[in-house]
Amino acid sequence: MWQNPAVLDPTTIARPPAGDSPDRPGASPRPVTSADLVLVIGAAMVAAQAALRAWVLHASYFFGDDLRLMVDAHERPLSVAYLLDPHQGHLAPGTRLLAWLVTASGPLDWTLAATLTVLAQLLASAACLWMLLVLLGPRWRALVALAIYLVVALAALGTTSWAASTALLVAQAASFAAVASWVRYLRRRRPRDLALTVVAVLLGLAVSVWATLVLPVLCLVAAALLSRRWSRSRLVGRTLRYWPVALAVAAIGAAAAIGADGADGTDGTGGTRGANGIWSRVQQASPWPHDNASRAYVNRLRADLDAREETVDLASQVVPPAVLPADGAPQHRTEALVPLVSENAQFPTSTDELSVITDAGAVVPAAIGGGPRGEGRPEGECGWQITDRPVTIRLDAPAREGQWARFGYLSAGSSPVLVTGGGEQVQASLADGLNSLYLRVPAATRSLTVGGLDPGANLCVDSVEVGTPTPLEAP
C-alpha cells in the first residue's frame, strides 16, 4: 500500500517551538503572576515581622507572671494535675507546659524562651497569611489585611511578658488556622479540614482563654457560607454587615478573660478589674523593654553566686517588686526564686556567715540589728559563759519568728550547740576562736537558751542581737 513518505520521515514530524519545550535548556520560564508576588511578599512580611520580634526579645527578659510560672514549674513535677491547675483564675495547661520546658532546660534559660516566642510569632503570622489567602485569595488586599495584623497592638501585646506573649501568639495561630480550615471544610466537606478545625480550637483553648473569641467568629463564618452559595465577596460583605456584633462579643470576651486573670470573685469588682486589665495589657504592649529590672537583677545575682567557691548561706527576703510583684506570694521570696538562678546557694536555719541580696541583685554580708538585744550581760570579759549546763539569755524586747539572732562568741574549740526559743529548738555548730553565729529565731520568744555543748567545751557569748537581716554597710 502506498504511503506518503513525508508522514514517515522523522524530519517532517511537527515539533513544538524551542521556547515552548520545558525540557530544552533555553526554555522560557513561566511568567510571574500577581498571585506569585502576593505569596512571596507575604512570606517576606512574615519573616520581617519575626525578625523584629526577635530583636525586641533580645533586650527583654522574664518579668512578674513569668517568674511566678517558672517558680511553680521548678517546684512541681510535670503531671496532669500540674497542667490542669488554674493559673490566675483560668486553665492554661499549654502555658504551664511551656514554663516547665524552659525551666527544665536550665536556670532561667531566656534564649530558649525567646526562641519559642519567635517560633510562635512565625506560626501565628503564617497562619494569618493562610487564613487571608483562603478567604480573599492570592490578591493584594490580602497583604493589606496581613500588614494590619503584623503592626497593630494585638500582635505586640505581651511583648515584655514571655508567658503572656507566647500564650497569646499560640492562641492567635490556632484561631487563624481554625478559621481557615473551617472555611475549607464548609466549601469542600473534607473530614480532615473539620478535624484540623477541632484540633486548632482545642489547642488555642489549652493555651489561652483569648482563644474563646474564635468561637463566635466560626459561627459568623458558618452563617455566611451556609445561608447561600459560597462567595468570597458575600462572606466579606456579611462580615462587614455583622461587625458590630462580632466587636461586642470580642469586647465582652476580652473583659471576661482579663477580669478572670486577677479577680477572685469575692470583692465584687470584676468589671472594674476587667477594664483596668485591658488598659494594663495595652500599656504592657510597648516593644521597648529596656526598663525591665529583672534582667539586671538576675544577671548580677547569678554572677555573684557562681563566683563563690563555697555554697552561699542566704537569709529569706522579699524579691524587689520591680522584679517580682508582691501579689505573687509565696513565689515572691528569694528562697523560691534563687534556685532558678543558681545552685550555689542555700537557705539554712543557722550559719557562721550570713548573706543577703540587695535590690540590685548583689550578694553581700548581712547585718543584724534594729531589734531586741540580750540584757543582763554578766560582768567580765567572757559575758554569758556556757559549759555543761544551758544558759538562758533574756532579751530586752520580744523576738518574732523569722527574725535572725546574731551571737558574738569566743569558743575554746568546735562543738555543736542547741539554741531554744519559744519552745522550739535549732541545732547549730560552733567554730574555734572568735566568731559569729547567725540563727533564725524558731518562734516568738523573750529569751534564748544556749546549751547542748560537747563535754568539756567552753563558750563565751559576748553579745546577742536580733533583727531582720539587711545589707552590711561598707565602712
Q: Express each pLDDT in 2-20 by its tens digit.
A: 444 444 443 433 444 444 4
- Amino acid code (one letter) for 418: L
Residue 208 has pLDDT above 50, yes or no: yes
Among 75-89, 189-203, 319-333, the range of highest mean pLDDT: 189-203
- Amino acid code (one letter) for 117: T
* Residues 403-423, mean pLDDT to the nearest whole number: 93
Note whether residue 17 is domain-resident. no
Note whether residue 11 is domain-resident. no
Q: What's residue 233's pLDDT?
A: 62
Q: What's residue 276's pLDDT?
A: 44
Domain's final residue, options 349, 367, 385: 367
* Cβ-based burial of 229 (10 A; exposed 0-12, middle 13-18, buried ≥19): exposed
* Residues 449-469, mean pLDDT to the nearest whole number: 93
Residue 39 has pLDDT above 70, yes or no: yes
pLDDT confidence band for 374 (50 / 70 / 90):
very high
451 and 321 in a common domain: no
Q: Which three cell numbers stand for residue 151?
A: 503592626
Residue 410 has pLDDT above 80, yes or no: yes
Q: What's residue 49's pLDDT?
A: 87
Distance CA 471, CA 381 (A): 29
245 and 106 in a common domain: yes
Q: 58-62, 187-191, 226-230, 352-356: which range is least confident on average? A: 226-230
Note whether residue 169 is domain-resident. yes
Containing domain of residue 379, as a range?
Answer: 370-471
Side by side, which strands form the sheet with 363-367? Answer: 355-357, 363-367, 470-471
Q: Express each pLDDT in 229-244 by its tens digit.
A: 555 565 566 555 544 4
Domain's final residue, options 257, 283, 309: 283
334 and 260 in a common domain: no
- Amino acid code (one letter) for 198: V
Q: Express each pLDDT in 275-332 by its tens digit.
A: 444 444 444 444 435 767 888 999 999 999 999 989 999 999 999 988 887 776 677 8
Q: What's residue 282's pLDDT?
A: 41
Note whether residue 52 is domain-resident. yes
196 and 150 in a common domain: yes
pLDDT confidence band for 88 (50 / 70 / 90):
confident
180 and 41 in a common domain: yes
Specify whether the CB–CB gap between 459 and 417 falls below 8 A: yes
Distance CA 217, CA 143 (A): 21
Specify whether the CB–CB gap between 418 and 345 falls below 8 A: no
Total domains in the chain come to 3
Note whether residue 15 is domain-resident. no
pLDDT confidence band for 228 (50 / 70 / 90):
low
- 3-class secondary structure for the chain? CCCCHHHHCHHHCCCCCHHHCCCCCCCCCCCCCHHHHHHHHHHHHHHHHHHHHHHHHHCCCCCCHHHHHHHHHHHCCCCHHHHCCCECCECCHHHHHHHHHHHHCCCCCHHHHHHHHHHHHHHHHHHHHHHHHHHHCCCHHHHHHHHHHHHCHHHHCCCCCHHHHHHHHHHHHHHHHHHHHHHHHHHHCCHHHHHHHHHHHHHHHHHCHHHHHHHHHHHHHHHHHHHCCCCHHHHHHHHHHCHHHHHHHHHHHHHHHHHHHHCCCCCCCHHHHHHHHHHHHHHCCCCCCCCCHHHHHHHHHHHHHHHCCCCEEECCCECCCCCCCHHHCCCCEHHHHHHHHCCCEECCCEECCCEEECCCCCEEEEECCEEEEECCCCCCCCCEEECCCCEEEEEEEEECCCCEEEEEEEECCCEEEEEEECCEEEEEEECCEEEEEEEECCCCEEEEEEECCCCCCCEEEEEEEEECCEECCCC
Q: What's residue 450's pLDDT?
A: 94
- Amino acid code (one letter) for 278: I
CATH of the domain at 377: 2.60.120.260
Question: Where is pLDDT greater, at 161 or 432?
Answer: 432
Q: Which three cell numbers stand for residue 426?
A: 535549732
Question: Where is pLDDT greater, at 358 or 90?
Answer: 358
Question: Where is pLDDT greater, at 354 or 136?
Answer: 354
Residue 124 has pLDDT above 50, yes or no: yes
Domain's final residue, options 249, 283, 317: 283
pLDDT confidence band for 266 (50 / 70 / 90):
very low
Q: What's residue 236's pLDDT?
A: 60
Residue 261 has pLDDT above 90, yes or no: no
Q: Express each pLDDT in 210-219 by its tens digit.
A: 778 888 888 8
Identify any residues that bridge with 428 across adjacent strands, giving them in sequence order.
417
Note whether residue 2 is domain-resident. no
356 and 376 in a common domain: no
Q: Which three cell numbers stand for residue 307?
A: 563566683
128 and 190 in a common domain: yes
**Whole-number average pLDDT of the chain:** 79
Residue 375 has pLDDT above 80, yes or no: yes
* Residues 390-414, mean pLDDT to the nearest whole number: 93
Q: What's residue 237's pLDDT?
A: 61
Residue 170 has pLDDT above 60, yes or no: yes
Note whether residue 7 is domain-resident. no
Note whether residue 3 is domain-resident. no
276 and 168 in a common domain: yes
